[in-house]
Structure 1
């Protein structure tokens, strides 16, 4: 694989980060991705206590390789416990995004932690650089889970690479070696992939949700705030979520104001999650879901991404011959 800022910073074999998928990816998945030669991460769900963060950090560290943690800035404002646990654990990388993240950058950096944030527009990337982050994640609207849906990955990546001087990773729709090779060729220091790992047994995804995901094609996702509004989560409104389209989403999309006051719908969603009814309950995933067809160990997914090296080498130009004397 080509050496990049990402591989050199963390001693990786593959320039890839496993995205911190809160509620789906915990320390076990992070450890598996890191052990395979990429950088595994786990995300901190809303309301998770500091003890949970500490426990999952210990599991992630069990690989003996660097790992990372994803934090939601808007949630930290009400509960700083997860941040304190992260500072104690000192993972190699922390991504803090979505909300007023700037106040957390320096405390993390003082602890020797590399700090990233996800940016969905070029202006967000510029603001991240001004805030002092070490690396920007240019996340296109194709990505699963939460983020902006305003710019697709490829145009966003090109623009961000022109706009900032800090290293840039690319996220959104990167699920195979071809996607990783494409963003590396464009100038990214690595890829940031979540959906590609959703079929892995190392996730906490319930089996009915995994089956539904593996059966979903590339047009089977939808973006919006339905599931957040139904749960009364205080996500900033500019950050909706991309999930598998289902009957609950279709019923309430465009009626979010009404949904916000419907306690019956809130209870219905909670009951569906308990029952494993994914015509109502949600599964967050990106537009690359159509390429996730089989359940595989995380190590196999990372190995598949490593084939980007072969793709890139096919287009590498051999050294030009020395000019002929006198030419």
Structure 2
């Protein structure tokens, strides 16, 4: 693989970060991605207590490889113990994004932690650079989970690369070696991928949710605030979520004001999450979700995951991304 700022900074074999998918990526997945030669991360849910962070950090660090933690800036003011726990854990990388991230950059850097900020616009990327971020993640609207939906990955990446001097990673729609090769060729120092790992054995996804992921195609996601409003989460409105379309989303999309006062719908969603009813409960995923099934098939040598068949591992996915090297070499040879 080509050497980049990302590989050199963290001693990686593949210039790839496993996105910190809160509720899906815990310390186990982070450790597995890192052990495979990329940089694994786990995401901290808004209400997670400090001891949970400490516990998951210990799992992620157990293999002795660098790992990262993702924080939600909007949640830290109401839960400052999260930052304290992260500072105590001292991961190699911390992503602090989605809200007023500026107050948290320097405390993390003073602790010797590399700081990333996920930016959904060029203006946000420049703000991150001014705040002292070590690396900016240009996150396009194709990405799964929460973030802006204002600019797609490719135009955003081009603009951010022109406007900031710090290293830039690319996120949103990167699910295969081709995607990683494309952003590296454009000038990114690495890729940032989450959806590609949703089929892995090391995620915390229930089997029913994983089945939904494997059945989805590239048109199977939708972006909005339905699930946040139903849960009464305080996500800033500019950071909606991209997930798999389902009946609950379709029923309430465009009726969020009504949903905010509907206690029956709130209870319905809570019950569905507990029972594994994903016609109602959410599964966050990006527009690259249609490629996850193919990646699973490749990883298990032609056998699509099902009852009694082996789930792919994070190592399988990272190995698939490593083929970006051959693509880049072929491009160079063709020239």
TM-score of the two chains, using structure 2 as the length reference: 0.94
CA-to-aligned-CA distance 1:74-98 (integer Å, 9 cap, x gap): 1101001111000000000000001
The 2-side partners of 1:218 and 1:137 are apart by: 23
- Alignment partner, residue 255 of structure 2: 255
The DSSP-based 3-state class of the residue aligned with 2:332 is: coil
The 2-side partners of 1:91 and 1:43 are apart by: 12
The 2-side partners of 1:250 and 1:60 are apart by: 37
- Alignment partner, residue 240 of structure 1: 240
The 1-side partners of 2:177 and 2:312 are apart by: 15
- Alignment partner, residue 328 of structure 2: 312
- Alignment partner, residue 179 of structure 1: 179
Runs of 4+ in 1 over 4 A off after TM superposition: none
The 2-side partners of 1:259 and 1:57 are apart by: 36
The 1-side partners of 2:80 and 2:18 are apart by: 24
- Aligned pairs, how many? 319
Matches within 5 A, 1:17-166: 17-166=17-166
Q: Which has the larger radius of gyration?
A: 1
The DSSP-based 3-state class of the residue aligned with 1:316 is: helix
The answer to whether structure 1 residue 6 and structure 2 residue 6 are counterparts is yes
TM-score of the two chains, using structure 1 as the length reference: 0.97
CA-to-aligned-CA distance 1:292-313 (integer Å, 9 cap, x gap): 0134100000000000000000
The 2-side partners of 1:262 and 1:306 are apart by: 47
Superposition deviation, residue 63 in structure 1: 1.6
CA-to-aligned-CA distance 1:252-285 (integer Å, 9 cap, x gap): 0000000000000000000000110000000000
Q: Provide structure 1 residue ranges, at least 5 long, that are not aligned to the other structure.
A: 320-327
The 2-side partners of 1:216 and 1:315 are apart by: 31
Q: Provide structure 2 residue ranges, at least 5 long, that are not aligned to the other structure.
A: 297-310
- Alignment partner, residue 322 of structure 1: none
Superposition deviation, residue 21 in structure 1: 0.2
The answer to whether structure 1 residue 196 and structure 2 residue 196 are counterparts is yes
The 1-side partners of 2:252 and 2:24 are apart by: 24
- Alignment partner, residue 323 of structure 1: none
